[in-house]
Structure 1
Amino acid sequence: MPIADPSPVLRLSGRNPPHAFVAPSPAAPAGPPPARVHGTATGPTDGRLRRVFMVGCPRSGTTVVQAALSAHAGLLTLPETHFFAHLLGGFDAWLDDDMDACRAGWRKRLGLYWRPALHRRIAEEMQGIGHPLGAGYRWRAGWTGRASVRRFVAGLDEGARRTGRHGWLEKSPDHIAQVEAIQALCPDARFIHVLRHGEDVVASAIEGEARHARERAFSGGIGHWVRRWNRAAAAHLDAAGRPGHLVVLLEDLIAQPEREIARLCAFLDLPAPVDAGRWESPGHVADLQRHPWQTGALAQGFQTPQRKFEALFGPQMQSWIRSHLADYPLLRETLAQRQQALIAALDGDTGAVAAARGAACAGCPHAGTARTG
């Protein structure tokens, strides 16, 4: 599974969805293979390592999903690396929905050579992860950003093979800002998007800012987190229904963990889990010394998180937040429509797949017309 090596100038393709950031290399596959409904007892049916990225707005439950999936799916996992966020940057431009600025920055950084300060920061983020890239992994002078990506992914592949895993799962929520670049550089990657109700995310982030002020992990204030959740929700919506992407709602996972974990494994073409509602947190999910706020998520598991919105905010602030957040029920409904065929396929309902595709084509200007020639 080679890593795509984009040309120095990455360009847009009119064949891709809006905001698609693609590598024009003719050798790169068009996208990840479609998810199969069933894996095998020994792993993926095609024998290829699964490269999985989990993204979302912080405080959305990504740590819980990561731990549960890693426990059941046989994937190598590790604490948040923020690798692509540090390497490629562009978060502020992404938050402003200025994708042209993001792409320009990505092109520049992929061609730059070794930067000591950047690599020290990445190394600090990856402390305590048990050398999943191999004990001999080192950053080297003379590596471009593009070479660093190749070595990073190859190291995770090596770690998965060395430990007998079906692939690996990298969970850094802020990589949602670099999804297009990651997909261009690693075309066979699959992305799991985790979405939680905006009110709960904002409340959790503000509480985290108060509890963990020393770490400065959730700074920015209420307005920032409202804006950040809205932008993440828009990114999830844009990805829903696209090949290689699955959006998971935290409330659904908590309500029906067996069903949702089974869907996730089917999406990755991995063996169906047994007793998915129970799991013990695997090693290297989180670095709790550096990220102590993740302790509660691992301890709670699939328990419904305590509702904090009304306790933290008064009536006026609640009204302001609700008026500025995207409409969650509408977002949920739209996501379900866009993922209808995929979810039906993951559940093995071929009739529902055909019906969903038929419904999607009903509004097509060519619907009902015969093609000749």
Structure 2
Amino acid sequence: MPNAAEPQRLFVVGCPRSGTTLLQSFLAAHPAVHSFPETHFFYRLPAAASAPVGPDLVADLPQVAGFLGRPDTCWPSQPTVGAAVDTFLATADAVTAAAGATAWVEKTPANLYAIDLIEALVPGARFVHILRDGADVVTSLCANAAGWGSTYTVDQALDLWSECIAVSEAHRGRPGHHLVGYADLAQHPEDTLRAICTAVGLPYDPAMVAGRAEAARGLIKDFETWKGANVGPLEYAPRARFARSFDAATRAHIDRRVAAVVVPETAHR
């Protein structure tokens, strides 16, 4: 557990295009919460605290510091994983305190694959997982992945979604983990956010709903055009784009594969 001088450390995780930015924006609108753009830090670390940080991430550490809002951060030379994480935490904690906040949120979807490492090295870490209907996730992955330099076939997107669902479901009910459905968040934001706040130890504040779009503007990088909808009105139109994007045979294939994945109703209602 963090000591009294440390802020709460929250991680939003889930499959890409599942609503992680939407969830982050709601949380970041809380007056006691500070957040920052995706850092892509933790999932790129080796699994052992004593291991050296890989050269690609070492080269990107100044950029990570910039995302945290402290580009002058002094990282250890030839850092180990443990030393790099300590520097990240000290920087994030300091930025949060300077903002007058008592909690910070790191949202990088791929941190879903670094949960064990984060739990081992980040005292008091708590995770909010978001789950979304597979048909909508697959549609969005296939339509938007080129924006971040990737591509997905329908089955590759289904594989990724299924894998991410399995990871989140494996953590359902574990201490420090709370699972939320995208449909619930989009349709019933206040009730859903109240439940999240209870789970992570924050008081609910109406500013979370009222300030969501403005908070999103401060979290989305200039080139992240695929996140643009988060700065506008909250809309929920399940499977509307799915129906327009694929022919009948492909939709039927997606439906079969999605139906084969057991997801609690609150994750896709």
* Paired amino acid for 1:200: D
For the residues of structure 2 that align with 1:191 and 1:315, how far apart are their CA atoms?
37
Q: Distance in 2 between matches of 1:276 and 1:142?
A: 40
1:112 paired residue among 38, 51, 68: 51
1:205-224 equivalent positions in 2, closer than 5 A:
205-209=141-145, 213=146, 215-217=148-150, 219-224=151-156
Q: When the two structures are aligned, how many residues end up with a matched partner? A: 265
User: For residue 84 of structure 1, what is the aligned residue in structure 2?
Assistant: 42
Closer/same/farther in 2, CA of residues 123 and 291 from structure 1, 3 Å limit: farther
Corresponding residue to 1:145 among 81, 84, 91:
81
CA distance in 1, matches of 2:102, 2:153: 40
Give deviations 1:315-366, integer Å, cap 9, x for gaps: 11112122222546x4114979xxxxxxxxxxxxxxxxxxxxxxxxxxxxxx
Cα displacement (A) at 1:195: 0.7
One-letter amino acid of the structure 2 residue matched with residue 148 of structure 1 = A
Return closer, same or farther for 1:234/1:116 CA change in 2, 3 Å cut-off.
closer
Distance 2:208 2:95 in 1: 25
Instruction: Tell me, yes or no, if the aligned pair for 2:28 and 2:208 is still in contact at 8 Å.
Output: no
C-alpha distance in structure 1 between counterparts of 2:138 and 2:178, whole Å: 23
Corresponding residue number in structure 2 for 1:247 = 179
Q: Are the equivalent residues in 1 in contact too, given 2:45–2:53 (CA < 8 A)?
A: no
Is residue 133 of structure 2 the alignment partner of residue 197 of structure 1?
A: yes
* TM-fit CA distance, 1:268: 2.0
TM-score by length of 2: 0.88
Contact 1:258/1:275 (8 A) holds in 2: no
Aligned pair in 2 of structure 1 residues 138, 221: CA closer, same or farther (>3 Å)? farther
Structure 1 segments, 4+ long, off by >4 Å, are 333-336
What is the one-letter code of the residue matched to 2:205?
Answer: P
AA matched with 2:232: A
1:71 matched to 2:3? The reply is no
Residues 128 and 177 in structure 2, CA contact (< 8 A), matched pair in contact too: yes
The one-letter code sitting in structure 2 at the alignment partner of 1:175 is: N
Pair 333,196 (structure 1): closer, same or farther in 2 beyond 3 Å: closer
Instruction: Work out whether residues 63 and 294 of structure 1, in 8 Å CA contact, stay in contact via their aligned partners in 2.
Output: yes
**Residues 269, 322 of structure 1: alpha-carbon distance in 2 compared, 3 angstrom cutoff:** same
SS at match of 2:116: helix
Decide whether the 8 Å contact of 1:60 with 1:201 is kept in 2: yes
TM-score with structure 1 setting the length = 0.65
Contact 1:80–1:126 under 8 Å retained in 2 = no
Matched residue, 1:286: 220
The answer as to 2:200 corresponding to 1:268 is yes
C-alpha separation in 1, matches of 2:193 and 2:140: 24
Distance 1:274 1:54, change over 3 A: same
Q: Which runs of 5+ in 1 are unaligned?
A: 4-45, 89-105, 337-373
Q: Which has the larger share of helix?
A: 2
Deviations 1:6-39 (A, max 9, x none): xxxxxxxxxxxxxxxxxxxxxxxxxxxxxxxxxx
Q: 1:322 and 2:266 equivalent?
A: no
Question: Residues 114 and 141 of structure 1 are in contact (CA less than 8 Å); yes or no, is this contact kept in structure 2?
Answer: no
Q: Which structure's CA Rg is the greater one?
A: 1
> What is the rounded CA distance, in whole Å, between the counterparts of 1:190 and 1:235 in structure 2?
15
Unaligned runs of 5+ in 2: none
Distance in 1 (CA, whole Å) between partners of 2:11 and 2:100 is: 19
Q: Give, as a single letter, the amino acid of the residue that structure 2 aligns with 1:252.
A: D
Report the CA distance between 1:112 and its aligned residue: 3.1
Match of 1:171 in 2: 107
Offset from partner CA, 1:50-96 (integer Å, 9 cap, x none) = 100000000011111111111025211011111012223xxxxxxxx
Identity %: 29
Give the aligned partner of residue 350 of structure 1.
none
**Which residue of 155, 158, 165 corresponds with 2:94?**
158
Distance change >3 Å, CA 196–CA 303, structure 1 → 2: same
Q: CA deviation at 1:168?
A: 0.5
Q: 1:125 to 1:159 in 2, by over 3 A?
A: closer
Q: Is the Cα–Cα contact under 8 Å of residues 265 and 273 in structure 1 kept in the other structure?
A: no
Structure 1's 226 and 142: CA in aligned 2 closer, same or farther, altered over 3 A?
same
Question: Which residue is equivalent to 2:116?
Answer: 180
